[in-house]
């Protein structure tokens, strides 16, 4: 019998969620995603510190933001030597509320990739799913720069992303699960909130059915998993980005991973949601979980970006 990972590949594109490109060689993902936290973790390891040292040495006169982007692209290039598909590279989270600066930073990342001989079709620019980030993605997509809208926790965010014609969205399963579990406190019963009943799984399922119902072509990539059960409950989703630890668990377990989501399952009668700014901000504000997790996610990525800045500056001496 094949492993659950091999069975999952029959229904879903498997993506590695890591900056550890050595781990990818054995796991054979199609695509890979990174973020500031993953890159920060990687460059503190002996195996990857030379990438930081080389980047700082070869571009001594560059600003810290430019060195950060060059480091991200160095990781992306190494990843693309391993995976056959795409790599996601994230715009600095400190720009999450600045549309113009996000556009300029994204253009710069793509220029670095193209200067290295990497076609833009193999790169997804990750941007936080704020209103400003989504509008930046709208402009970038019109230029042929494909975007991955991350830190997505709600259907209104997904609808606005679809209206902007973004290439891909990354709804966060595990962080939604975390919020509801913490909110429930002692009343939380794990068995009652597992599999298809997991609140994070339910959120992605709702987005998937909405997209399929209205014929939306934006790809959906479930992200931020806490356990194998969440992954198996979303088998059939367009893509799933999974940490090496959970990929290894799937690879080590024999069994099936039958599709739980199907493009033909459009969810029956679904009401269309408006994609304008007022509707977006109103509905997001009414969703305490999505509002809190979006803000928290940006703060965490900013904190790690600042730490990465410090490592870069220390390397330059």
Q: How many domains does the chain have?
A: 1
Whether the predicted pLDDT of 218 surpasses 70: yes
Q: Using one digit for the tens of pLDDT, what is the confidence trace for 149-175?
A: 999 999 999 999 999 999 999 999 999
pLDDT number for residue 38: 86
Whether the predicted pLDDT of 316 surpasses 80: no
Whether the predicted pLDDT of 148 surpasses 90: yes
pLDDT number for residue 171: 98
Q: Any idea which residues carry the catalytic annotation?
A: 126
**Cα 5 to Cα 253: distance, rounded to the nearest angstrom:** 8
Whichever domain contains 279, its CATH number is: 3.20.20.70
The residue ranking higher by pLDDT, 265 or 236, is 236
Whether the predicted pLDDT of 91 surpasses 80: yes
Q: Span 211-235, mean pLDDT?
A: 97
User: CB of 43 within 8 A of CB of 51?
Assistant: yes
pLDDT number for residue 317: 66
User: CB atoms < 10 A from the CB of 114, how many?
Assistant: 12
Q: Span 104-130, mean pLDDT?
A: 98
Whether the predicted pLDDT of 281 surpasses 90: yes
Mean pLDDT of the chain: 95
**Cα 34 to Cα 48: distance, rounded to the nearest angstrom:** 14
Q: Span 274-278, mean pLDDT?
A: 97
**Cα 314 to Cα 111: distance, rounded to the nearest angstrom:** 26
Q: Using one digit for the tens of pLDDT, what is the confidence trace for 234-250?
A: 999 999 999 999 999 99
Q: For residue 112, give its domain range.
A: 4-316
């Amino acid at each position: 019998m094949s492993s659950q990972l091999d069975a999952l590949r029959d229904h879903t594109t498997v993506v590695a969620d890591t900056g550890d490109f050595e781990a990818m060689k054995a796991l054979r993902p199609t695509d890979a995603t990174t973020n500031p936290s993953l890159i920060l973790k990687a460059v503190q390891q002996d195996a990857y510190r030379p990438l930081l040292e080389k980047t700082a040495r070869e571009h001594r006169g560059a600003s810290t933001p430019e060195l950060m982007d060059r480091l991200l692209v160095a990781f992306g290039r190494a990843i693309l030597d391993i995976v056959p598909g795409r790599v996601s590279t994230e715009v600095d989270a400190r720009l999450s509320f600045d549309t113009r600066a996000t556009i300029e930073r994204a253009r710069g990342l793509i220029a670095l990739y193209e200067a290295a001989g990497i076609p833009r079709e193999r790169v997804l620019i990750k941007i936080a799913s704020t209103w400003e980030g989504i509008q930046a993605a709208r402009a970038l997509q019109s230029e042929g720069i494909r975007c991955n809208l991350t830190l997505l926790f709600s259907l209104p965010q997904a609808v606005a992303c679809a209206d902007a014609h973004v290439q891909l969205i990354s709804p966060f399963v595990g962080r939604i699960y975390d919020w509801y579990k913490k909110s429930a406190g002692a009343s939380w019963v794990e068995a009652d909130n597992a599999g298809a009943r997991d609140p994070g799984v339910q959120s992605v399922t709702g987005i998937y059915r909405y997209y399929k119902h209205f014929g939306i072509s934006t790809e959906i990539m479930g992200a931020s998993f806490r356990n194998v059960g969440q992954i198996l409950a979303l088998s059939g989703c367009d893509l799933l980005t999974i940490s090496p630890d959970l990929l290894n668990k799937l690879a080590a377990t024999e069994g099936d991973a039958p599709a739980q989501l199907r493009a033909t399952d459009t969810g029956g009668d679904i009401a269309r949601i408006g994609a304008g700014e007022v509707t977006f901000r109103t509905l997001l504000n009414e969703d305490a979980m999505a509002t809190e997790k979006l803000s928290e996610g940006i703060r965490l990525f900013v904190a790690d970006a600042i730490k990465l800045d410090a490592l870069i500056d220390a390397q330059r001496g």
